Structure 1
Amino acid sequence: MEPDTVLEVERIFEEPRNVLFRAFTEPKVLAQWFAPDGWHVVPESVELDPRLGGRLRHTKVRDDDPARTWVIDGIYTEVFYPDVLVSQQRITGIEGIDPSRPVELRVEFSRQGQGKTLLRVVQGPYESQAAVDYAKVWESILDRLQAYIDGTGAAS
């Protein structure tokens, strides 16, 4: 079956766009939060060059089973600070996601009044069930982003 479903996840953050944009584009910052519960990013695996044609790559490892890994490898196709990041990625290690087929990840940072940001993630195409499952992964990842911001005072 051909993948034909795009996932969408939205969340409003009480931080300005530049803070969230930076969390997605600075390797040391991204390594601290960019994994769902039960997983972590290998800090030395993170490569981010947020410019048109720049590379992005990182590895996530399951906390209780280090043999389980996800590798995300891609190229930025759009970068407009602090509004949008778009990349074409190949994802290896996630059941239901074919690593030979690239998926597009679009992250939009929309201003929502004084100091607030609507963060919108659009990713795909996936097979229908994989899109549902991976949307839940994104919800967990965004929970971790909020916890990272809350714990570091990143907005200041």
Structure 2
Amino acid sequence: MEEVDTILEVEREFACPRDVLFRAFTEPAAFSQWFAPTGWHVLPESVELNPQLGGRIRHTKVRDDDPEKIWVVDGVYTEVFYPDVLVTRQRISGIAGIDPSRPVELRVEFTRLGQGKTLLRIVQGPYTESAALDYSDGWESILDHLQTYLDTLNTPKDTTR
């Protein structure tokens, strides 16, 4: 049996201020638009985010090509320091290789780099080594979707209509 002792870390630089990224992680309408890996989507009505100490975080992801495959994240915020860090303790169900009875911690750090840029750092686990590798790939995909979402915020709106 594989040990559950691996922590994954993913970092990405974004050309936007910390508070914009922080809101993307804490506002349900924003969160539901991007917080799923390719091939999945978040059910907007499932999103519950109460970013304060002891507040709840919950959402459901559904496989795009198989709505019978669902993945539920349910947890609580254990640290919230706007706009620097969010930490949650969560149980994840519906993913092969992840034991829903064993909580994982998700730490999201927002580091100001200057000139309106932010380094986003994701630290999550513990997982088995194989689950951490899969989940790390999932995070890369999720962060690609975050970039696409942020790009829509920076796109000038057509006001001629």
Q: Does 1:113 align with 2:114?
A: yes
Identity %: 73
Native 8 Å contact 2:61 2:70 kept in 1: yes
Deviations 1:71-114 (A, max 9, x none): 00000000000000000000001111100000000000000111
> Which residue does the alignment assign to 2:98?
97
Whole-angstrom distance in 2 between the partners of 1:102 and 1:2: 15
Question: Please, which runs of 5 or more residues in structure 2 have no aligned partner?
Answer: 156-161
Q: Does 1:144 align with 2:145?
A: yes
Whole-angstrom distance in 1 between the partners of 2:136 and 2:59: 19
TM-score, length-scaled by structure 2: 0.94
> Which residue does the alignment assign to 1:60?
61
The number of residue pairs the alignment matches comes to: 154
Q: Does 1:77 align with 2:78?
A: yes
Native 8 Å contact 2:110 2:118 kept in 1: yes
Shift of 1:153: 2.0
> Which residue does the alignment assign to 2:158?
none
Which secondary structure state, in structure 2, belongs to the residue aligned with residue 86 of structure 1? Answer: strand
Over 3 Å off, 4+ runs: none
Deviations 1:27-84 (A, max 9, x none): 0100000001111000000000000000000000000000001100000000000000
What RMSD, in angstroms, separates the aligned Cα atoms of the two structures? 0.9
Deviations 1:92-138 (A, max 9, x none): 01111100000000000000111000000000000000000000000
Whole-angstrom distance in 1 between the partners of 2:153 and 2:16: 12
TM-score, length-scaled by structure 1: 0.97
> Which residue does the alignment assign to 1:23?
24
Shift of 1:21: 0.1
Which secondary structure state, in structure 1, belongs to the residue aligned with residue 31 of structure 2? Answer: helix
